[in-house]
Structure formats: structure tokens, C-alpha cells
Amino acid sequence: MHCRGRGSGLVSLMLALSLSIGIVLSAIHLTAQAERWHQRARQLSLMEDQAYQVFDLIERLLQQAGYVNVAIPMSVVSSRPIEGAIDGLDDATVSGTAQTMVNIAPSSSLASDLLVIRLRGDATGQVLNCAGFAVPLASQSDELTGRSILYIGLDPMNEPELRCHYHGASAWTSQAVASGVLAFQVRFGVDVDDDGLPNNFLSASQLSDTASTTLPLSLPLRTRIVALHIALLMRSPQRIGWVGTPRPIDLFGINEVGCDSAEDGSAYVLPQQLKPNRLHRQFDKIIFLNNSLRPDA
């Protein structure tokens, strides 16, 4: 009887140890899974913060580019942006190390666009370029004294970032605006019927190729820009263990993903163009110029 009792106790001990090991392993698995989800949520939050930082910057620049003093009669000051105030290039970036000029080269990141916003400074010093510095005072009402160039470059770790290229006190220089911006696409909303709302959204190439458009050209297209449609593809700065099967991404989110009939293939990103084990998220926003809803007199 005594031996049978000792054997029964040993079996109970082994069973308890097995259950304990199972509970510990389950706890370790749940902890690791929770850590992965926490890391994923943190990366998504960082991407969202960076994307909206870009939108806020472009919105501030456009408000200054399209600013009209509402106290001045429309017959004196037009609500349209000055010719050349807003421009861009498809599939372009600023290249080279020279700080005295702007060198344009093909984009190094998914055929991303380059956006140029020129501003005219005033006596208050409140007109700021993309780096947050005051734009020099303009001597004439149609003089553009500050140029902000937004484009995608690569940081020292070969990670994409949106940069601001501007002319400082004595030379051109660049600084990072937001990290993890893998693609930067711009469409220019033009108003052709003078109601202050965009009738068409055109790429920079379409904006330049006026011969191929059917839009009325009583005014230059660039003076008819009332809004920009900005699309970003953000990539997480860190690797994630498993992110699922990548899918094609429509950067502007308006057409069927993977549509072969799309006029601009640069607006679509295919799975093979995405880096594995990274999170990717698309953001887009239509940003209006300040006072753009006031048609010309």
C-alpha cells in the first residue's frame, strides 16, 4: 500500500509539472504575440504621424501661395496664384552635393514626384518656407522670393525620406521633413469654369503638355491651380516579423487597384516593389489653396 501511494504521488507530480510547463509556454507565446502587436501598432502610429506632418507642411505652404487679402477688392488683386508659384516634375529628385544650385535627376524611390512652391515674402516676416525660415521681402506684388522644393531622398541608412530643398542665407541646402516616405505623388487640381473648384487633377507632365489637353486656355493652367491631391506611401522604419501577403496599392485610392488602363502607372505600387517584412500604408489628401473658392472678377 505504501509503495502504491508513492507511485501515485510521482504520477501526480509529473502531471502537475507537465501542466505547469504548458501554462508557461502559453504565457511566453502570448507575451511574444502581444509584443509583436505592440510593435506593429507603434510603427503604424509613427507612419501616421509622419504622413500628417507632411500634409500639414504642404497645407501651410499652399495657404501662403494662394493667399489673398480679403480687404482688397477683387479688381485689384486676383485670387489666382501667380504664374510659377506652384509647379512640379514627375519622377524627379534633387541630386548632387553642390549647394549653389538645384540639380534634377530621376527619382530614387518608386518614380516619386517633385513639388515646387514659390512664395513672396512680406514685411512681417511671417511667410515661411518649407524649412520654417522667413522668405525674403518681395519688392513687387508679383515677385516670388522664396522657393521650397519637396522631394524624396535617401538618408545615410538608405531609407527614404521626404526632404525640403531651399535657399538659405548664402546657398542651397536640404533638410529632412519626414522619414519613411517611400512614394510621393502630386496631382494639380485646375479650375476651368471659374467656380473655385477643381474640374480636373493633372500630373506635372499633363500640366506642362498643354497641347494634349482640351481645357480652355484663356489663362495659363498654372494660374488655375486651386488644389493639390497629395498621395504618400509610408514604410515602417523597422522590420516586422510577419505583415501578411502584400497587395497592389493605388496611391490615390480612386481607381481599381491594378487597373491596366490607368493613364499613370506611377500611381500604382506592385507587391514586388515593396520591401518584405515592412509595414506599408497609403495616405492621400486634397489640399485647397487659401481663398481658392473666390473666382476671378
Q: What is the pLDDT of residues 219-237, one digit of tens each?
A: 677 888 889 999 999 998 8
What is the structure's pLDDT at 32? 66
Q: Which residues have C-beta within 8 Å of that of residue 171, sequence separation ≥ 6? A: 99, 100
Stated pTM of the model: 0.78
**Cα 223 to Cα 2, 69, 86, 192, distances in angstroms:** 101, 17, 8, 10
Confirm if 114 and 162 have CB atoms less than 8 A apart: no
Residue 95: what pLDDT? 80
The stretches in the chain having pLDDT less than 50 are 1, 74-78, 211-212, 256-262, 295-297
